[in-house]
Amino acid sequence: MKESVYKLIEVVGSSTESWEKAATAAIDQAATHLRDLRIAEVKEQDIHLEDGKPPVFRTRLLISFKYHGEG
């Protein structure tokens, strides 16, 4: 079996509906720029509040993807 290497990045997704939708938005966006996504780990969740505006749910994720190297 060939060894594999994975790289980790941290991303933050946001949604006015839920933390789950915020996480999905982050994963969907990462998937448009990266390939071979493997695991997404929720690191933190918070709600951004601003006067009179609906709350914004934010989910911070650590995402791993297979590293293919340069060239």
- Is 71 inside any structural domain? no
CATH code of 34's domain: 3.30.1660.10
The total domain count for the chain is: 1
Q: Could you tell me if residue 1 is inside a domain?
A: no
- For residue 27, tell me if it sits in a domain: yes
Domain hosting 40: range is 6-66
- Phi first, then psi: give them for residue 34, nearest 5 degrees: -125, 155
CA angle at residue 35 from 29 to 40, to 5 degrees? 60
Q: Is residue 20 part of a domain?
A: yes
User: Which amino acid is it at 4?
Assistant: S
Reply yes or no on whether the pLDDT at 71 is more than 60.
no
β-strand partners of 16: none
- Is 23 among the domain residues? yes
Residues in CB range of 25: below 8 A, 6 or more apart: 13, 14, 15
* pTM of this structure: 0.84
Residues 19-61 pLDDT 10s = 999 999 999 999 999 999 999 999 999 999 999 899 999 999 9
Assess if residue 17 is contained within a domain. Answer: yes
